[in-house]
Amino acid sequence: MAASNTSNVRAHNEGAMRYNAKRDFLWLALRPWIFIPRLFQIISAVLILSTKILILGSNQEKSIQKDLAKSLLNTLTELGPCFIKLGQALSTRPDLIRRDWLDELTNLQDNLPTFPHSNALAILESELGAPAHQLFEEFPGKPIASASLGQVYKARLHGNYWVAVKIQRPDLIYVIRRDLVIIKLLGIISSPILPLNLGFGLGDIIDEFGRSLFEEIDYEREAENAKRFSSLFSNNTSITIPKVEEMVSSRKVITTSWINGTKLKDPEELEKKGFDTKSLIRTGVTSGIQQLLEFGYFHADPHPGNMFALAGEEGGPGHIAYVDFGMMDSISDQDRITLTGSIVHLLNKDFDLLAKDFQSLGFLSKEANLSKIVPAIEAVLGGQLGEEVESFNFKSITDKFSELMFDYPFRVPARFALIIRAVVSQEGLALTLDPSFKIIRVAYPYVAKKLLTGQTKEMLDILLDVIFDQNGGIRIERIESLFQVLTQDSHSSTKDLLPVAIRSLKLLLSSQGSKLRKNLLLASIKGDSINTTDIKAVIKLLTKTFRPAGIPVDMLQRINPLAA
């Protein structure tokens, strides 16, 4: 049987490294000697764990909860890479998982059982064409970390140049394909009785997970991802991306420069080493928002094992490094702009426009009757927002949004699976370091600055929606709210507000700002007379907001306002 399984693995690995649900289901269905024992193993493990949690979960004794956490960790570890990935996602959610369970689940990030060192050396030699001692000046006898898909060695490439060498686990393609078929089958069978209303079937979400997982195990793709990601942050000194060493990298081996930092998983350890956790959070979350809303290309697995704190300037922004670029994804320009607008519409309580955003993003069909849905959106999300928008976080949005999905024709487009995972993981990491963290306190000031500088036509259109009502009148309260976001943001210092003020002025006086100027002019004309009350109110708000920035007159004179 062992020889038979080995031949099955070899034949399966020779197939294309792409996820194909129908092909893989047929492959496994024709091999019941593989399918049935594995199915029984998964169901048995899940039932045993569920029973244990059901019986002991309410017991508050620390020893019992620690035992349950270890049982969960061991079950996920024994079931393999697909289930470990699920546990990694849970390990970033302190608002969903007990703190004492989280301490165990963080071991899934880089503290998993290793595979034999001899196997790792054999894979490295097969992939790179030479043994480790010929390729590296120094190669250790054991890995420094072991994760779900591979294990990492700290090696010396030349001189004093240290690198991280990640070697993929043996037979990984075979294992993942087998388990994804079974997971999807169990998901489809159980979805009718689960308390879920995803719109798209659970199978579609699993397919998206499968596609991303197969991209993650292609290290040549990961190398390209790392180089692209690095180029996006090339001018940002607060973000470090390791350099890929292509001469000693392949499809199953990837070598990058070594990151000498502290992992973002233990707030006490970070504080002991003198790091400002709030500053690190701000850098991490801001970079995440920038990836999603500006670059349209994002790290979809920002768990604490993939992010490090690095030493930075004292009193400056937090300095972090990203590693592991296997799970990356893109968002279309249209979706990116619509998401940005939806944040503004949500916080401004423009529920009509928010409903249209949902349609554009695919959460509502184009044929949906918005006249019935808008009041429901307002009842659920509007009441939650209240007056304290800064207290609103992504978790509260998704909790409230789920209420709508049971009664109205909402659905979650499969393409948003990794986006949601990335945002949830980012927020979960921040909550781990600072339980009082609210993502909207970082997201909205970022969006506000982008709106006021109108860097694209789409951003300018969103700004016009904020400033002017349907009748062309100026929404003074909205402008005031936008400015308050900037002045209340603890990091919007003179240094930050000055470039915002200059770019805003350039926008207003540039050719791109012609529509904005025209709308302001029309807003001042009431009937047959000119009413400058609203314009004066806007000028007063501008003076009040940007005076602290100390904009020097000579600097304003150097601006070329007519530059396109």
In terms of domains, do 503 and 527 share one?
yes
Q: At residue 91, what is the residue type? A: S
* CA distance linking residue 149 with residue 232, whole number of Å: 26
233 and 138 within one domain: yes
- Label the pairing between strands 262-263 and 307-310: antiparallel
Q: Write out the chain's pLDDT in tens, 564 residues.
A: 444 454 454 444 445 468 888 899 999 999 999 999 999 999 999 999 889 888 887 777 878 888 888 888 889 889 988 888 877 766 655 555 676 677 777 777 667 889 999 999 999 999 999 999 999 999 999 999 888 889 999 999 999 999 999 999 999 999 999 999 999 988 888 766 655 544 456 777 788 888 888 888 899 999 999 999 999 999 999 999 999 999 999 999 999 999 999 888 777 888 888 888 888 888 888 898 889 888 999 998 887 778 999 987 665 678 999 999 988 989 998 898 888 888 888 777 788 888 899 889 888 888 888 888 888 888 777 655 554 555 566 666 666 666 666 667 777 777 777 787 788 778 878 888 887 777 777 777 777 777 777 667 777 777 777 777 777 777 777 777 666 666 655 454 555 666 666 667 776 767 776 777 777 777 677 655 566 676 777 777 667 666 654 444 444 444 454 444
Q: Is residue 104 located within the same domain as residue 136? A: no
Q: How far apart are CA 364 and CA 102, in angstroms?
A: 35
Asked whether residue 324 is domain-assigned, the answer is: no
Tell me how long the chain is: 564
Asked, for residue 553, whether it belongs to a domain, the answer is yes
Q: Do 123 and 74 reside in the same domain of the chain? A: no
Mark which of 258, 290, 315 sits at the end of a domain: 258
Picking from 258, 286, 317, the residue at the C-terminal end of a domain is: 258
Asked if residue 102 is part of any domain, the answer here is yes
How far apart, in whole angstroms, are the C-alpha atoms of residue 358 and residue 281? Answer: 29
Query: Same domain, yes or no, for 252 and 341?
Result: no
Q: Which of 90, 109, 128 lies at the terminal end of a domain, its last residue? A: 109
Shared domain for 231 and 121, answered yes or no, is yes
Query: What is the residue-wise DSSP string for 283-314?
Result: HHHHHHHHIIIIISEEES---GGGEEEE---T
Q: What CATH code is carried by the domain that includes residue 232?
A: 3.30.200.20
In this structure, the strands spanning 529-530 and 297-299 are unpaired
Are both 54 and 126 inside the same structural domain?
Answer: no
C-alpha span between 454 and 517 (Å, rounded): 13
Residue 240 bridge partners (DSSP): 321
Query: Does 64 reside within a domain?
Result: yes
Inside any domain, residue 119:
yes
Apex 309 CA angle, 99 and 137, nearest 5: 115
Cite the active site residues: 301
Whether residues 549 and 459 share a domain: the answer is yes
DSSP 381: I
Q: Is the CB of residue 182 less than 8 Å from the CB of residue 35? A: yes
The CA distance from 488 to 499, in Å, is 17
Do both 241 and 358 map to the same domain?
no
Q: Is residue 470 part of a domain?
A: yes
Total structural domains in the chain? 4
What whole-number distance in Å separates Cα of residue 136 and Cα of residue 111?
Answer: 25
Rounded CA gap, 299 and 324, in Å? 9
For residues 127 and 251, give the distance between their C-alpha atoms in angstroms, rounded to a whole number: 8
Residue 387: alpha-carbon gap to chain centroid: 27
Residue 147 covered by a domain = yes
The answer to whether residues 35 and 99 belong to one domain is yes
Residues 128 and 91 in one domain: no
Spatial distance between the Cα atoms of 313 and 317, rounded to a whole number of angstroms: 7
Examine residue 193 and state whether it is found in any structural domain, yes or no: no
- 510 lies in the same domain as 553: yes
Residue range of the domain that includes 148: 114-170+218-258
